[in-house]
Amino acid sequence: MWTIQFSVRLQNDEDPDDVFEIDVTEYMDEWPGLERWEGDVRDLGFRAMREMFVGGFLLRERALLRTWTHLDGDCRLVRRGRIPVTLTSTVGKVRVARQRLFCKRCKEWITPLNEELGLHQTGNGRATRGFREMLCLCGSKQPYRQAQHMLGMITQEPKVTSMKQVHLTVGREGSRLRTAEDEKYATVSSQLVKDVQDRNPLSEPIEGVLYIVVDGIWVRSYPGGGRWREGKVARICTEEREAVGRKGRQRVVDSRYVSSFKPVDVFSERVWVDAMRMGYGSRKQTIVLGDGARWIPSMRRRYFPKGVYVLDWFHLRRKVAQTFRRVFPEKSRRRVSWYLEIRSDLWEGRKEEAVDKLQQLHDEISAKACMKNPIAAQGRDALADLLGYLDNNWEGVIDYGRWRDAGHMVASSLVEKAGDLVVAKRQKKRQGMHWGRDGSEAVSALRTLWLNDDWEEYWKPSQRAA
Ligand SMILES: [Zn+2]
């Protein structure tokens, strides 16, 4: 037999009699083997930590009770039992039995420890800040069931939280984060406007390009139904890159993510604020690189009049390829030659010619579609769709070849990656998943916080005066 004993002593040095002693004892077979031993150590350690956690509150309560007064000297306080409260923390669930007081004069109940336990703040669900942070970290990256399991393992208490609790807490913390951001953005925004007005004369423009990479992602919003809602994601970055690894891969050095499921204006305003902070307006050139979502060109015109819109080449090329697959369902030489011709027209800046050719093909096929020809009808619709896409993104269809030779980024995996990082992994790609608007917004808020390296700053414990 082994006896393992854990002793912790909490002592208030101002009053040496004010001591809280904790003993956790466990007996076990001599050597249980590596795996069991690891589990036993965690079990015992966490039990001791929970006791210590509670002990601190009780020691604090004693100090409070020594000097506690209700309203004034005429109040007559008497102790009237203890009431337990369960707090969910990073060391598991703990039960704190709080001393309750009754004022005989005022006929009022008082629980001095409530303030220390954070029970006066609403919306925390009796979970500590540390636990809520941990929950959000787990819950914004994987399915709620998996997050719930992780939290159980981390806290050495499998039922520390439920899947539903994870869901609710992520939603609540995400919208709390958005509210905090809204305030910050509003302040920064008005400051920026003021700075721009005061800057006279304009300073010398900074060399280099500022990229604003924008992506729209559709997320299913109800189970089974055909309802979708669009998440919008932007990544703002400069040209600076640093090498990673040995294969010549490059990483963006300086970047900010912005995400939102709210209307375009709310999103655009945020993108504008972060772009300003990263030098929009003082940079020589700004390129808005987009995936062709219908709101991007007008967002560029309204918020970034000094910027240039570029329709991402990968997206354009893919759209052209998809169109011809629908126009010529059979794999054929005709399909390939049409694709190659339109692709090179677009790459080399002959967009008017490309549109003329597409329009002709569209009219030709439309004539056949009149005679109840489903393949022709499908081809006609696909071509009309491509023509609409080109029309909506017209200013963004540039002379790609020339732009690339001039050293500009005309296509970027950043476009799609930004979206994937913020929403898709959780929301888009999980088939059958559906999200309420608040859920999507909350998860993308937390994901963006993480990607922008603002996580620790946001979650750091609040400072209190010593
Ligand atoms: Zn009183």
DSSP symbols for 352-363: HHHHHHHHHHHH
Query: What is the domain extent for residue 45?
Result: 2-120
pLDDT for residue 318: 93
Distance 126 CA to ligand 1 centre (A): 27
Above 80 in pLDDT, residue 391?
Answer: yes
Does residue 53 lie within any of the structural domains? yes
Structural domain ending residue among the three candidates 120, 135, 157: 120
Distance 18 CA to ligand 1 centre (A): 27
- What is the per-residue DSSP string for 323-383? HHHHHS-S--HHHHHHHHHHHHHHHTT-HHHHHHHHHHHHHHHHHHHTTT-HHHHHHHHHH
pLDDT for residue 384: 94
Above 50 in pLDDT, residue 73?
Answer: yes
Distance 119 CA to ligand 1 centre (A): 21
Please count the structural domains in the chain: 2
Above 90 in pLDDT, residue 104?
Answer: yes
Structural domain ending residue among the three candidates 90, 105, 120: 120
What is the spatial distance between Cα 151 and Cα 306, in angstroms, rounded to a whole number? 48
pLDDT bin (cut points 50, 70, 90) of residue 188 is: confident
Q: Is the ipTM of this complex over 0.90?
A: yes
pLDDT for residue 371: 65
Continuous segment of H or E residues that includes residue 114:
none
Distance 101 CA to ligand 1 centre (A): 10
Distance 96 CA to ligand 1 centre (A): 25
Above 70 in pLDDT, residue 438?
Answer: no
Considering only CA atoms, which of 236, 145, 129 is closest in space to residue 426?
145
Distance 109 CA to ligand 1 centre (A): 9
pLDDT bin (cut points 50, 70, 90) of residue 376 is: confident
Above 90 in pLDDT, residue 190?
Answer: no
Distance 102 CA to ligand 1 centre (A): 8
Does residue 10 lie within any of the structural domains? yes
Distance 277 CA to ligand 1 centre (A): 54
Above 70 in pLDDT, residue 225?
Answer: no
Q: What percent of the chain has pLDDT over 70?
A: 88
Cβ-based neighbours of 383, under 8 Å, separated by 6 or more? 323, 327, 358, 361, 362, 365
Question: Which residue reads 């220390």 in tokens?
Answer: 116
CA distances (Å), origin 458, targets 142, 151, 182, 267, 314: 21, 21, 14, 21, 36
pLDDT for residue 197: 74
Distance 74 CA to ligand 1 centre (A): 7
Does residue 371 lie within any of the structural domains? yes
Does residue 418 lie within any of the structural domains? no
For residues 223 and 434, is the Cβ–Cβ distance under 8 A? yes
What is the spatial distance between Cα 453 and Cα 75, in angstroms, rounded to a whole number? 51
Distance 441 CA to ligand 1 centre (A): 46
Does residue 344 lie within any of the structural domains? yes
Distance 219 CA to ligand 1 centre (A): 56
Does residue 137 lie within any of the structural domains? no
Distance 80 CA to ligand 1 centre (A): 14
Here the tokens at position 208 are: 């280099």
Does residue 8 lie within any of the structural domains? yes
Distance 122 CA to ligand 1 centre (A): 25
pLDDT for residue 1: 86
Does residue 19 lie within any of the structural domains? yes
pLDDT bin (cut points 50, 70, 90) of residue 304 is: very high
pLDDT for residue 407: 84
Distance 120 CA to ligand 1 centre (A): 20
Q: How much is the mean pLDDT over the chain?
A: 86
Structural domain ending residue among the three candidates 68, 103, 120: 120
Distance 59 CA to ligand 1 centre (A): 24
